[in-house]
Amino acid sequence: MGPTLSLIGGGLVILGSFLPWATVTSAFGSVSKSGTDGDGQITLVLALVIAGIGVVGLMGRPRFWLISLIAGCLAALVAVMDIIDVSRTAGEVESAYLDASVGIGLWVVLAGAVVAVVGAWFLRAGRSSA
């Protein structure tokens, strides 16, 4: 179960890294900023590490669970920090003509990071019982 959760979590973090992290909407349309325009590059690298460790775990070698755990925690930390930053900035920018919000990508990264951390914990449990 740990390797599968690691792969799912890593996949979600990869997906979320490419999705919009912030959106500003006005009467003239909306503009989005994807994760790869900024900190999404960091979460993308962390996600590749997580997914790679998940693949190694699927091959029957539940190693490197600590690296996966750390990468998942770092991805979650980046997501939470950016959610706070975007929310704060959105509060400063919002007016009757503008609406700014946290994009779906940040929420997907955060969810994926949580799944990855759980997967890493199960990888650890699998290692200790082996």
pTM for the predicted model, two decimal places = 0.88
Q: pLDDT tens digit string along 40-51? A: 999 999 999 999
Going from N- to C-terminal start, the domains of the chain cover 2-18+39-90+100-129
Q: What is the rounded end-to-end Cα distance, in angstroms, of the chain? A: 14
Asked if 65 and 120 touch (Cβ cutoff 8 Å), the reply is yes
**Residue 32 β-bridge partners:** 23
**Segment 10-41, tens digit of pLDDT:** 999 999 999 999 988 888 888 889 999 889 99
66-111 pLDDT, tens digit per residue, is 999 999 999 999 999 999 998 888 777 767 677 888 999 999 999 9
β-sheet bridge partners, residue 20: 34
Q: Measure Cα distances from 10 to 47, 111, 117 in Å.
A: 5, 10, 10
